[in-house]
């Protein structure tokens, strides 16, 4: 039974020997660095990247050292491909393979097993063990780790050939995750740029970019001209007859980053609905809008529902819903500027109604709304692919290590 515990659940074909338990300090050369005197300008601004714990996975650094700074401090050089392990503060337990040659400070432990495959294996094992290490050695997440602690960790180790297979597999998986992350980031940046260019800037009546065939200036109106602003309410929480019914009832914290609100966490009964000031909001015509304690979170309502008093939702009339939803950041910014309150900032429905908005024809609204709807779908697709790959990696880290 003890022998079985030293074999991972998933292995590459051809490997059957049990893994051998070794101390990490026996497998790799380990050392930490230091920081030159911050008051000596002659030590900084040179050509040696100075890697701090928040930069262990970066290909550039905020600070750089001179040769004098390196020679007159405990800072130590590391090569590209070495394992960098963060030991201090909020980054404790983070690990990466160094992407650059540079110097490290005292908050980083460098490790080098003199083989890239072994270094990768150590890094992935430490990443898998992060929660266990921090919970064991950092009480309540406070304090720092030390090189002495890390070097004494027992690491189950397979043959170097198996380490190469495992390290290569996870390296390729990381490359795939990075590729999808970059695609996702580019789409998010592209959307931000298009939102700026497809809506008129302040004081202007036409946007920088338009679909062909549209030339008329946009009209300045108020939000009340295209939407009814509807607040909410809360049934008596001590009356069980008001709760656990079949009417969706939203609280602000539920929206998150979701485009659509599909179903609420809590539901109320018809009696609960009738007992308070909440209102029924129509599906596919309502944009939920949080009005306090985080102003401006939005979601398009998929099914008829009501909300608590933390909303001033937009029931869209003579306008395209997704066009108005694409204005969410503009509405949020305006509402935050106009919000007031002694306990917490809040925007009222009456205030929100007066927000000035630029509107094109309904046909142009529909074209813009459709464009951003498809773009959001594409962003969501890449986000889900990215989350799937990250979950696969997490699962395989558990199953391919002992």
- Domain architecture of the chain: domains with CATH: 21-156 (3.90.220.20), 158-210+360-401 (1.10.287.1120), 219-358 (3.90.220.20)
pTM score, whole prediction:
0.82
Q: How many CA atoms lie within 13 A of 305 on its CB side?
A: 28
1: confidence class by pLDDT, cuts 50, 70, 90:
very low
Label residue 322 exposed, middle or buried (CB < 10 Å: 0-12, 13-18, 19+).
Answer: buried
DSSP per residue, 350-400: HHHHT-EEEE--HHHHHHHHHHHHHHHHHHHHHHHHHHHHHHHHHHHHHHS
Interval 140-156: pLDDT, tens: 556 789 999 999 999 99
Higher pLDDT, 139 or 229: 229
Higher pLDDT, 1 or 68: 68
Interval 64-80: pLDDT, tens: 999 999 999 999 999 99
First to last CA, the chain: 14
For residue 289, the 8-state DSSP code is E
89: confidence class by pLDDT, cuts 50, 70, 90:
confident
Q: Is the predicted pLDDT of residue 83 greater than 70, yes or no? A: yes
């Amino acid at each position: 039974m003890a022998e079985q515990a030293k074999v991972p659940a998933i292995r590459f074909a051809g490997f059957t020997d049990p893994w051998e338990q070794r101390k990490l300090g026996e497998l790799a050369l380990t050392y930490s660095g230091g920081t030159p005197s911050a008051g000596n300008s002659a030590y900084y601004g040179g050509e040696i990247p100075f890697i701090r714990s928040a930069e262990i996975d970066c290909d550039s650094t905020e600070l750089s050292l001179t040769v004098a700074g390196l020679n007159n401090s405990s800072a130590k050089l590391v090569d590209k491909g070495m394992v960098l392990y963060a030991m201090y503060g909020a980054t404790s337990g983070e690990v990466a393979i160094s992407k650059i040659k540079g110097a490290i400070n005292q908050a980083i432990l460098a490790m080098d097993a003199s083989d890239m495959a072994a270094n990768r294996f150590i890094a992935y094992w430490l990443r898998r063990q992060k929660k266990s290490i921090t919970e064991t050695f950092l009480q309540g997440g406070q304090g720092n780790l030390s090189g002495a602690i890390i070097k004494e960790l027992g690491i189950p180790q397979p043959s170097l050939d198996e380490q190469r297979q495992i390290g290569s597999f996870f390296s390729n998986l990381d490359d795939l995750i990075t590729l999808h992350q970059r695609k996702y980031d580019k789409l998010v940046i592209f959307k931000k740029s298009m939102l700026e260019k497809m809506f008129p800037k302040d004081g202007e009546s036409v946007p920088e970019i338009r679909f062909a065939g549209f030339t008329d200036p946009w009209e300045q109106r108020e939000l009340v001209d295209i939407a009814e602003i509807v607040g909410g309410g809360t049934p008596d929480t001590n009356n069980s007859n008001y709760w656990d019914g079949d009417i969706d009832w939203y609280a602000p914290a539920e929206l998150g980053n979701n485009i659509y609100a599909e179903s609420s966490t809590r539901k109320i009964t018809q009696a609960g609905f009738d007992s308070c000031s909440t209102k029924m909001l129509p599906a596919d015509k309502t944009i939920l809008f949080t009005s306090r304690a985080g102003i401006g979170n939005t979601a398009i309502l998929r099914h008829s529902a009501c909300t608590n008093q933390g909303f001033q939702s937009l029931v869209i009339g003579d306008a395209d819903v997704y066009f108005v939803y694409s204005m969410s950041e503009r509405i949020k910014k305006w509402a935050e500027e106009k919000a007031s309150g002694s306990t917490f900032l809040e925007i009222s429905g009456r205030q929100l109604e007066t927000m000035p908005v630029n509107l094109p024809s309904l046909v142009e609204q529909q074209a813009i709304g459709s464009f951003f709807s498809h773009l959001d779908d594409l962003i969501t697709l890449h986000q889900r692919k990215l989350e799937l790959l990250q979950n696969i990696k997490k699962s395989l880290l558990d199953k391919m290590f002992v």
